[in-house]
Structure 1
Amino acid sequence: MISKNIEYGYLILKKLQVGKMLSSEEILKDIVVPKRLGLKILTKLSNSGLIKSKKGKFGGFIIQNKEITFLDLFLALEMNNIILEPEINEVLDSEYYKKIVEVGCTILVKLNELKVFEGR
């Protein structure tokens, strides 16, 4: 299931354009998202480096990368929501986990192939 943050983040990225600064009002005006949540998502996207923000009268947001994957979006918006159990260290040290990393996790690879944004 895709969270509302991911859904709104996807819609926000679709509004942004390479090389064109847009204000938060311009970005959020056609997206049915609570303004406070929309601003929070814009901040997370900016903090992650997927978009760039500029303060001031002529400020706003601009896309940083010409290509953003679903995995990029997920990591930017949801990584802080993942709760790791205390036993995670045991898993990370296990031979099974090392083998998964060695051959590559199929889910992460697929998420990294899904394009959320491609430059226009």
Structure 2
Amino acid sequence: MTVIFSKKCEYGLQAVLYMSAKGNDCVCPAEEISKKLKIPKEFVSKILQNLTESGIVDSKKGKSGGFMLAKDPSKIRLIDIVAAIDGLDLFNSCVLGFPSC
């Protein structure tokens, strides 16, 4: 079986889906996302930092801080999340592993 997305990307997709299910106004601490998705907190934090740098997620510091979606969930495309975490190089090569398809 060919793996298209990295585990990091899969977790990023899950985190964005989790936050969109919580609602636009919800600020989700990395620890909450980590527990709900059963992903190590440090890994979740790193993934969310990548998504923050790309403008998909926003962060709020402080005691009541955490992460929230930076835009409406209907405006977030799957390809944007993949590009933020894995990059788009995987779409420039053959899925079967050949030099050219």
What's the TM-score, normalizing by structure 1?
0.62
Instruction: Give secondary structure in 1 for the equivalent of 2:76.
Output: strand
Write the mapping of 1:40-119 to structure 2, written as runs, cut at 5 A: 40-66=46-72, 67-79=75-87, 82=89
**What is the aligned partner in structure 2 of residue 4 from structure 1?**
7
Aligned sequence identity (%): 34
3-state SS of paired residue (1:29): helix
SS in structure 1 at match of 2:16: helix
State the 1:35 CA deviation.
2.0
Q: What is the alpha-carbon distance in structure 1 between the residues aligned to residue 26 and residue 37 of structure 2? A: 19
- Unaligned runs of at least 5 residues, structure 2: 92-101
Higher strand proportion (structure 1 or 2):
1
Q: Which amino acid aligns with 1:74?
A: V
Counterpart-to-counterpart distance in 1, 2:37 and 2:31: 10
**1:51-107 C-alpha deviation (Å, 9 max, x unpaired):** 10011111111111212111100111112x95xxxxxxxxxxxxxxxxxxxxxxxx7
Structure 1 segments unaligned to the other structure (5+ residues): 83-106, 108-120
Runs of 4+ more than 4 Å apart: none
- Equivalent pairs, count: 83
Larger Rg: 1
